[in-house]
Structures are given as structure tokens and as C-alpha cells.
Amino acid sequence: MRGRGTNEGERERMRAGPVVLGLVASAGGGVERALVERVAAPLAARGFRLAVTLTPTAARWFEHAGALPALQALTDLPVRWTSRLPSEPRPHPVPDAFLFAPATANSLAKLALGIADNQALTALGEALGRGVPLVVLPQAGEDQRAHPAFPLHLAALRAAGVHLAAEYDDAVAEIVSRAAD
Ligand SMILES: Cc1cc2nc3c(=O)[nH]c(=O)nc-3n(C[C@H](O)[C@H](O)[C@H](O)COP(=O)(O)O)c2cc1C
């Protein structure tokens, strides 16, 4: 617990040092701009220390778009997408809360099933297991949403206490509120 009301929570946070927020993004359309402008920038401006992990496909998109420097500029921690070697130290501290935005149908399904075949899903799966606040913004097309397993994946995440956001502003507002509680 970081405090009860927003003001009390923010005062306590200033005393304890910045809250580390795990930020995970997968390869949904527009992620290269949305993650920087609608998620990471507003959260960094509120004083969160961002531990950013991309799926391998999202990282490829960021690299191709030349968008990694803008993202990296918003945090002192390395933006990562690969797993560490056993002999290497952990590049990120353990985050206090996680925001997964956007969550593709693919990565959302993997999270719901506990599949951790990349660093982004490993971080998210462990967060779900630890029970830290987790907000997810699903972003899937009509056909992906019509897949018979899609509603089951959403239901599994909801049942685990995950907040499913409707859009970026909602996702950011919700993680700010949950991380401050
Ligand atoms: C231009 C483009 C836009 C895409 N947008 C979405 C999307 O919004 N939601 C989604 O679930 N998949 C989308 N996809 C498909 C995913 O990128 C694809 O399923 C990928 O394997 C997801 O990988 P990840 O979940 O590991 O990031 C898109 C693909 C392309 C090429």
C-alpha cells in the first residue's frame, strides 16, 4: 500500500522514491506513436520510473520506425525486449504495477494462458502471479475478437483482478489510480 487518497499517496511516493511502473507493449497498429505519446510521456511526467519491455515484434516496429530513442528518452532504465543471460544482472527493478498497452490478441491470449515465450510475457506473467496492479488495454480487430477463445481470455484476466481498459486515456488514468493506492 502506497497511501489511501491521491494526495496522501503522492506525498508518500515522494518520500519513498519514484514508483516503478512496468510498461509492456505488443505489436498493435500505431504502437510506435501511441506508446510514446499517449502512455510513456504522460506517465513519466507524473513522476513514474518506467521499466519498458516490448514484444519482439513491437521492438522490430520501433526499430524500423526509428522510434526507440523517443521512448528511451522517457526513462533511465533500458528499454528491453530480449531476455537476460543467466550470468547477467536484471536490467529492471521489480515494478510496483504494470500497464500493458496495447495488448494484441496474440499476447493477451498468451498472458491469459500463462505462456511466457518472450521477455514481455515473462514480466507480465510474473506480475499476474505476484498480484500487483495490472491494467491491460486490448487492441484487436473484428476477426480477432470473433475468435472463440478471445472472450475466454478476457474473462480469465478479469477474474485474476486485471483491469481491462477501453482506450489509452482510460488505461493511463486507471494505472495512476491503482499504483497510488
Ligand atoms: C500493421 C499491422 C497492424 C496490426 N495491428 C494489430 C492490432 O491492432 N491488434 C492485434 O491483435 N494484432 C495486430 N496485428 C497483428 C500482430 O502484429 C501479430 O499478431 C503479431 O504476431 C503480434 O505479436 P506480439 O503479440 O508478440 O506483439 C497487426 C499487424 C500489422 C502488420
Domain ranges of the chain: 19-81+93-180
**Calpha distance 116→136 (Å, rounded):** 16
Distance CA 169, CA 42 (A): 10
CA-nearest residue for atom 19, ligand 1, is: 106
* CATH code for residues 19-81+93-180: 3.40.50.1950
Say what the pLDDT of residue 11 is: 52
CA atoms of 116 and 120, how far apart (whole Å) = 8
Partners of 163 in the β-ladder: 135
Mutate to test the pocket of ligand 1, among 33, 106, 117, 137 (most ligand atoms within 8 A of CB): 106
The number of angstroms, rounded, from the C-alpha of 22 to the middle of its chain's C-alpha atoms is 5
pLDDT in tens, the chain (181 residues): 343 344 555 555 545 688 999 999 999 999 999 999 999 999 999 999 999 999 999 999 999 999 999 999 999 999 999 999 999 999 999 999 999 999 999 999 999 999 999 999 999 999 999 999 999 999 999 999 999 999 999 999 999 999 999 999 999 999 999 998 7
On whether the CB atoms of residues 67 and 37 are closer than 8 A, the answer is no
Q: Supply the residue whose CA is at minimum distance from atom 30 of ligand 1.
A: 29
Q: Best substitution site from 33, 104, 145, 167 to test ligand 1's pocket, by max atoms within 8 Å of Cβ?
A: 104
Residue nearest to atom 11 of ligand 1 (CA): 104
Residue 101's nearest CA partner among 111, 115, 93, 116 is 111
Point out which residues pair with 46 in neighbouring strands.
Answer: none
Question: 498493435: which residue's cell?
Answer: 28
Q: Which atom of ligand 1 lies closest to the CA of 108?
A: 25
Residue 134, strand partner residues: 98
